[in-house]
Amino acid sequence: MIVVTGATGHLGKLVVEALLRKVPASEVVAAVRTPAKAADLAERGVQVRTADYTDPASLVAAFAGADKVLLISGNEVGQRLPQHTAVINAAKEAGVAHLVYTSILHADTTTMALAPEHKATEEAIHASGLPFTFLRNGWYTENYAQTIAQAVQTGTFAGSAGDGKVGAAARADFADAAATVLTTDGHEGKAYELAADEPWSYQELADELTRATGKTITYQDVPPAQHQEVLTAAGVPAPFATMLVDSDRGIATGELVSTTGDLSRLAGRPTTPLRESVAEILKG
């Protein structure tokens, strides 16, 4: 039995769909905070169980009888480690044979501001003694949907990544990779660095938007401090703006690319090209 936490989230629901292409629905458990949101999965034969990262008892019950659990990292920055620790402890108590965790690219070496919680989670999993696999996910191209919408509306977008490249790929690519790890053998004890086959720069994004829309779209590269000001002036909350600026710093210094080929190999196909992802985002 395979349990997917956060199964109604952006990544989780894609993982469930990928699993359903590989195994019977009866072997898949959607562990969710609000079961009503997974009613469509229940109708298709997926087991739906309540699981709240802040409710350890619910986690133990959700993991009962599970062979494998995919821990999709929480989205509450600053609360991830205690929430993830609750999942780790519940998995151990439930006798889970293999814990798979969605971490961050180069978790053990990156200087990204989002990395410490992921690195600490990896260390906690190591300490638990549970057999594990780390899916060190790079950025999702869908993360740029709002930037793309704003660029198409105004003809420009700003950033502070210079000519650095980001190995962002479609969420579906990461979902397919996760499904492979959850349904095949030989992944225990491994950390996979997952990123696009062909990383792209913000200038390349602007060029692709220009091609796709027929409207000239420009990229304005600005210093980090100015980038922060642009974001906050646009109404982005200061902590999130700081994270976005740090993301661009990571792109500029090459921390959000990987040459391992792990993502396409696990997904069983090349990663989704920027052109295809942009077309999907523009369709809206």
- How many C-beta atoms lie closer than 10 Å to residue 244's C-beta? 18
**What pLDDT is attached to residue 91?**
97
Distances (CA, A) of 277 to 42, 143, 212: 29, 11, 11
Q: Determine contact, residues 29/4, Cβ cutoff 8 Å.
A: yes
| Look-up of token digits 């980090």 | 224
Specify the length of the chain in residues.
Answer: 284
Give ranges for CATH 3.40.50.720 in the chain.
2-137
* Burial classification of residue 136, based on how many CB atoms lie within 10 Å of its CB (0-12 exposed, 13-18 middle, 19 or more buried): buried
Give the C-alpha separation, 171 to 142, whole Å. 7
Residues of the chain with pLDDT under 70: none
Give the C-alpha separation, 34 to 30, whole Å. 11
**What pLDDT is attached to residue 77?**
75
The pair of three-digit structure tokens given for residue 35, joined into one six-digit string: 């079961």
Residues 6+ apart with CB under 8 A from 202: 157, 159, 161, 219, 221, 251
**Position 2: which residue type?**
I
Give ranges for CATH 3.90.25.10 in the chain.
139-169+195-256+272-284
Distances (CA, A) of 36 to 5, 27, 41, 57, 217: 15, 20, 10, 19, 42
The pair of three-digit structure tokens given for residue 9, joined into one six-digit string: 């989230």
**What pLDDT is attached to residue 155?**
97
Give the C-alpha separation, 217 to 152, whole Å. 7
- How many C-beta atoms lie closer than 10 Å to residue 22's C-beta? 15
The pair of three-digit structure tokens given for residue 127, joined into one six-digit string: 């300490």
Q: What distance separates the 2 farthest-apart alpha carbons in the chain? A: 57
Give the C-alpha separation, 36 to 114, whole Å. 31
**What pLDDT is attached to residue 201?**
98
**Position 139: which residue type?**
W
The CATH classification of domain 2-137, taken from the options 3.40.50.261, 3.40.50.720, 3.40.1390.30, 3.40.50.2020 = 3.40.50.720
Q: What is the tens place of the pLDDT at every residue in 86-106?
A: 999 999 999 999 999 999 999
**What pLDDT is attached to residue 74?**
86
Q: What is the tens place of the pLDDT at every residue in 17-67?
A: 999 999 999 999 999 999 999 999 999 999 999 999 989 999 999 999 999
DSSP state of 144: G
**What pLDDT is attached to residue 162?**
97
Class of domain 139-169+195-256+272-284: alpha beta
DSSP state of 141: G
**What pLDDT is attached to residue 75?**
79
